Amino acid sequence: MRQETIHRLLKLNHEFYTTFATSFSKTRSQGSRDLDKITRCITNGARVLDIGCGNGRVAHRLIQQGIVAHYVGIDRSMQLIEIAQSAFQDDTTAHLVPQPRFLVIDITSPHWPDLLRNPSDKNHQQFDTVLLLAILHHIPSSALRQRLLSEVAGLLTPAGRLILSTWQFLDHPRMRKKIVGWDNTEVDIHDLEPGDYLLDWKHEGFGIRYCHLIDQKEIHTLAADTGFSILETFRAGGHEGNLSLYAILTKV
């Protein structure tokens, strides 16, 4: 995939999450049951990096369950980061130590891990758990997805875990109805890769997002190419209870 096409697809998604940050946040509940399958892997004192944290719902879930973690949430959308930050400025969370950190970071930009640096923490770039929840399928091109997982591997402790999820939207009639054509975009369809789609959004307005279908076979390929071993996979999430494919990985 050419850089021009990658840039256009990334711009398309960035514009979506800028425009629909508030309405999107309303659809992402911190009480979602699938989060419990994730938080069971996180222990007290763990260092957690939540890539594509959105409204910070994982941080809220950890607090609800009494798990004290060193949490860092990052997202490209400034609007979603502001929503996440505002939720932790009330009296109910002011006493928390450590406080969750939320940063605006674009994980498709070069050297983005350097932006995680915290001068007061000598272990600032080592995490016990990295989360990539509903993010990897928004990354265009197999090369860029592979690069991202390689960068994540460099952020994990030797015994660290990567937990990722990807939408399996072709498995569900409800989600297949969201697929739209490429006619109204500036994307050269001849430059797309197999599994590339556009999905619409009709909550408080109309929008479209780029999504790549990442099935179990592709997860296994990505893991093998980036130095990961898959410990477990399972399905969860969505109205159907199995919209997303989850994978828990560790470094080889």
Distance CA 162, CA 131 (A): 6
Q: What pLDDT does residue 98 have?
A: 81
Look-up: residue for tokens 């556009």?
Answer: 198
What's the burial of 90, exposed, middle or buried (CB within 10 Å: 0-12/13-18/19+)?
Answer: exposed
Q: Is the pLDDT of residue 11 over 60?
A: yes
User: Residue 72: beta bridge partners?
Assistant: 49, 101
Instruction: State the residue range of the domain holding 72.
Output: 3-251
A 10 A CB-CB count for 51 gives: 24
Question: How many structural domains is the chain composed of?
Answer: 1
| Opening angle at CA 126, ends 124 and 131, nearest 5 | 110
Q: What is the CATH number of the domain that holds 94?
A: 3.40.50.150
Report the DSSP beta bridge partners of residue 248. 163, 232
Q: In this structure, what token pair is assigned to residue 117?
A: 């640096």
250 has a pLDDT exceeding 70: yes
Q: What is the pTM of this model?
A: 0.94
* Residue 74 DSSP SS3: strand
Indicate the pLDDT class of residue 119, thresholds 50, 70 and 90.
low
Start-to-end C-alpha separation, the chain: 29
Q: How confident is the model at residue 91 (pLDDT cuts 50, 70, 90)?
A: very low
Distance CA 20, CA 28 (A): 12
Reported as a pLDDT band with limits 50, 70 and 90, residue 1 is very high
**Mean pLDDT within 10-32:** 88
Residue 202 to residue 208: CA distance in whole angstroms = 9
> Residue 81 to residues 9, 57, 216: CA-CA distances in angstroms?
21, 11, 30
Query: Do the beta carbons of residue 72 and residue 48 sit within 8 Å?
Result: yes
Helices (H), the chain: 3-19, 21-26, 34-39, 57-64, 78-87, 142-155, 173-176, 216-225
* pLDDT of 197 strictly over 60: yes
Mean pLDDT value across the chain:
92
